């Protein structure tokens, strides 16, 4: 019989984990026990250190610099770049993820989605600690705080203009948006949302307190003007701010030019006043457009009618918002192109004639919308379509003016007066020479126009100064435009021209006083300051040179005080397609040292509140029915941070600010 197999070595196990069984395995391999235990201890310590690095303050601070990979780094926003070595950084990953959540308006639960985690496992397998939705929410708020600190530093010492508006969310809460507009040292126009905060109601004092608290939170930056719509509560807000004496040193000329009325809103009231007389015809067009867009079956039938009539048009019919005349113009303009298709639809669809009713209407100020008793109007007839065609031609001018007033990427203050002249002339021509239908519309518009834009006492003169600060027009175009508008009243032309020029000069003088207050040594008279002992100095050459330098400073001072005269006396610049207004002032800021500062602040004034109103579209997506439980502070953080991140492609020039910071640091060092 064969001998029994030898017994297995003691403490040998199939387990692979590090433990007591490993020491037996070490012995079986012939390794000394002490050396084997030392190796095991080192391995255990390394694992403990690795786990502690992942757990300590989360994975946010973990960066692996031991190995790099080639990656593509973008340069600016042009799409160019190159391959650079990149080391893995959990901090950079979380920063990019946080920005993606904010910019793309993604829900916080997105980071816990199965698909996203699988995607990240393939793209970045090193990132094993993807944050939860609670962690990413904290990261979003922390990013908002850090970006706010940066923006607050950029606004220090910068004079800004504001726009504000209010909005009611699906939470039935009132929010107020406050947006800052300014031109930086590099003559780039910027707009930044400063606040998207809760307000109790829409009363004037409440809005005024909200603006005051926001400005205090931002370090009370210097302000020039606030643009608001024409609601009566906004007048109360301005009155509240003017009562605060501390704002006297934050504004210019005792806040005389603080209030700017939204030109787009006034234009909306003017046009809607003209459309009142033909409300029924417009309601008929609105009815047929609403009918064909109410179901896929009706839309398919309408498209067949378009094909049968061989209408070649890339755009489609659109439904308007009755309180926004601009959308009504687009509805009429597009519907008129499909007139034959609508006529054929009466034959193709038996329900077409019986299904078209009246629509909602609103009051003349656009504040209250009431519903009238529905009545069947039927489709528009030939007379209605003829009216639409006439309206389309006349309203195109107002449509273009609204688009120019609503621009956010370019200066709008210099466009106000030229659009005012075009609108006034068009209304006068239609009143005198137009067809009876358009003439009646123009007469109604003229009354509304005179209510808001005829009385100079109710207008902000800086909107007229904006055209003077455009080197293509200056006072020459202002006088020309006034003659076109008021050819029948010479005294009014002279009076308005004087008021605009007077406001222009007073703004310039206010800025000179501000300069002299900041550097009093430049205002001293050289003859009074000359010391008698200087002329008796042994070094006569040095004394003469000192007097010569004082005389040069005196001439420079006199020259700077006549900047307005020199600017207005020079010929106007040629108006070309490539003319850049801000670049012109950037180049000529050396020649007009004080006047360029006036231009930089005045040209930044927006003539409409569209910048704040457009924020409500973002707010509507952030506060959708599925995210209506978001805290108001988190809502503000998401909306403001998105605006700041999207605007970061055009960085704010901080030359002046950095100079001040460096000087401040030098003073601190000397004091210490």
**Does residue 475 surpass a pLDDT of 90?**
yes
Q: Chain centroid to CA 176: how far?
A: 15
Give the pLDDT of residue 439. 86
* Selected residue with higher pLDDT from 585 and 346: 585
Give the pLDDT of residue 128. 84
Angle formed by the axes of helices 325-337 and 382-405, nearest 10°: 130
Give the pLDDT of residue 526. 39
Measured CA to CA, the distance from residue 395 to residue 403 in angstroms comes to 13
Q: Band of the pLDDT at 9, cuts 50, 70, 90?
A: very low
The reply to whether CATH 3.40.50 applies to domain 151-262+609-661 is: no
Measured CA to CA, the distance from residue 444 to residue 664 in angstroms comes to 60
Measured CA to CA, the distance from residue 275 to residue 140 in angstroms comes to 47
Give the pLDDT of residue 362. 42
For residue range 609-653, what is the model confidence (pLDDT) as tens digits?
887 777 766 666 666 665 667 788 988 899 899 999 988 766 776
The residue among 297, 277, 298, 275 whose CA lies nearest residue 288 is 298
**Does residue 534 surpass a pLDDT of 50?**
no
Give the pLDDT of residue 432. 86
The residue among 89, 116, 85 whose CA lies nearest residue 100 is 116
Give the pLDDT of residue 659. 46
Measured CA to CA, the distance from residue 335 to residue 318 in angstroms comes to 8
Q: What average pLDDT does the segment 552-569 reach?
A: 70
**Does residue 543 surpass a pLDDT of 90?**
no
Point out the least confidently predicted range of 207-221, 324-338, 644-658: 644-658
* Selected residue with higher pLDDT from 658 and 642: 642
Structure tokens at 69: 């990979």
* Selected residue with higher pLDDT from 90 and 478: 478
**Does residue 656 surpass a pLDDT of 50?**
no
Q: What average pLDDT does the segment 62-90 reach?
A: 63
pTM of the model: 0.75
DSSP letter for each residue of 51-109: HHHHHTTGGGG-EEEEEEEEEEEEETTTTEEEEEEEEEEHHHHHHHHHHHHHHTT--GG
Domain positions in the chain are 8-36, 151-262+609-661, 269-405, 514-597
Neighbours of 147 (CB within 10 A): 19
Measured CA to CA, the distance from residue 285 to residue 358 in angstroms comes to 10
350 to 298, 357, 380: CA distances (angstroms)? 11, 15, 16
* Selected residue with higher pLDDT from 391 and 580: 580
For residue range 11-24, what is the model confidence (pLDDT) as tens digits?
433 333 334 444 44
Structure tokens at 152: 């607050």
Assign residue 488 a region (left: φ > 0; alpha: ψ between -120 and 50; beta: otherwise): alpha
**pLDDT above 70 coverage of the chain, percent:** 72
Sign of torsion, CA 89 94 97 102?
Answer: negative
Measured CA to CA, the distance from residue 660 to residue 657 in angstroms comes to 5
Q: What average pLDDT does the segment 103-107 reach?
A: 89
**DSSP annotation of 391:** H
Sign of torsion, CA 21 27 28 30?
Answer: positive
């Amino acid at each position: 019989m064969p001998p029994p197999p030898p017994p297995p070595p003691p403490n040998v196990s199939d387990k692979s984990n590090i433990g007591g069984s490993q020491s037996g395995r070490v012995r079986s391999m012939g390794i000394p026990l002490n050396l084997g235990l030392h190796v095991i201890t080192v391995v255990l310590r390394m694992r403990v250190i690795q786990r502690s690095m992942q757990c300590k303050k989360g994975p946010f601070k973990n960066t692996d610099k031991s190995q790099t990979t080639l990656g593509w780094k973008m340069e600016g926003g042009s799409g160019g770049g190159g391959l650079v070595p990149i080391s893995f950084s959990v901090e950079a990953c979380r920063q990019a993820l946080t920005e993606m959540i904010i910019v793309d308006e993604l829900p916080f639960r997105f980071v816990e989605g199965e698909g996203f985690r699988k995607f990240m496992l393939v793209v970045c397998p090193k990132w094993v600690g993807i944050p939860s939705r609670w962690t990413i929410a904290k990261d979003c708020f922390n990013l908002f705080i850090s970006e706010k600190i940066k923006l607050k530093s950029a606004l220090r010492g910068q004079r800004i203009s504001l726009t504000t508006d209010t909005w009611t969310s699906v939470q039935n809460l009132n929010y107020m948006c406050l947006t800052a507009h300014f031109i930086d040292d590099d003559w780039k126009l910027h707009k930044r949302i400063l606040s998207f905060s809760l307000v109790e109601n829409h009363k004037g004092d409440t809005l005024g307190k909200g603006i005051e608290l926001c400005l205090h939170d931002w370090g009370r930056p210097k302000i020039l003007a606030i643009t608001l719509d024409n609601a009566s509560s906004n007048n109360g807000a301005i009155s509240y701010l003017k009562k605060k004496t501390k704002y006297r040193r934050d504004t210019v000329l005792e806040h005389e030019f603080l209030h700017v009325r939204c030109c787009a809103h006034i234009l909306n009231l003017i046009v809607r006043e003209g459309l009142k007389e033909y409300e029924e015809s417009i309601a008929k067009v609105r009815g047929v457009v609403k009918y064909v867009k109410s179901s896929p079956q009706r839309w398919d039938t309408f498209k067949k009618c378009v094909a049968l009539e061989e209408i070649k048009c890339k755009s489609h019919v659109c439904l308007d918002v009755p309180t926004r005349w601009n959308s009504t113009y687009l509805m009429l303009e597009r519907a008129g192109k499909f007139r034959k298709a609508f006529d054929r639809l009466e034959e193709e669809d038996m329900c077409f004639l019986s299904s078209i009713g009246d629509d909602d209407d609103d009051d003349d100020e656009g504040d209250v919308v009431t519903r009238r008793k529905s009545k069947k109007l039927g489709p528009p007839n030939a007379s209605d379509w003829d009216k639409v065609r006439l309206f389309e031609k006349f309203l195109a001018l107002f449509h273009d003016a609204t688009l120019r007033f609503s621009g956010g990427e370019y200066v709008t203050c210099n466009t106000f007066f030229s659009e005012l002249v075009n609108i006034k002339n068009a209304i006068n021509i239609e009143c005198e020479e137009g067809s009876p239908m358009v003439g009646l519309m123009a007469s109604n518009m003229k009354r509304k126009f005179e209510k808001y834009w005829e009385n100079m006492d109710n207008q902000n003169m800086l909107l007229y100064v904006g055209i003077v600060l455009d080197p293509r027009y200056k006072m020459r175009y202002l006088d020309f435009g006034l003659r076109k508008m008021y050819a029948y009243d010479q005294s009014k032309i002279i009076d308005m021209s004087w008021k605009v020029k007077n406001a222009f000069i007073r703004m310039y003088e206010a800025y000179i006083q501000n300069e002299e207050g900041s550097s009093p040594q430049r205002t001293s008279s050289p003859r009074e300051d000359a010391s008698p002992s200087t002329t008796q100095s042994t070094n006569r050459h040095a004394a003469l040179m000192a007097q010569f330098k004082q005389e040069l400073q005196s001439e420079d001072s006199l020259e700077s005080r006549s900047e307005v005269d020199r600017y207005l006396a020079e010929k106007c610049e040629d108006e070309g397609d490539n003319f850049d207004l801000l670049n012109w002032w950037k180049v000529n800021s050396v020649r007009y040292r004080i006047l360029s500062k006036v231009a930089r602040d005045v040209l930044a004034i927006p003539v409409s509140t569209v910048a704040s109103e457009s924020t409500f579209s973002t707010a509507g997506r952030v506060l959708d029915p599925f995210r209506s439980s978001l805290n108001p502070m988190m809502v503000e953080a998401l909306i403001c941070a998105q605006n700041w991140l999207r605007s970061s492609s055009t960085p704010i020039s901080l030359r002046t600010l950095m100079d001040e910071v460096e000087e401040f640091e030098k003073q601190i060092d000397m004091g210490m």
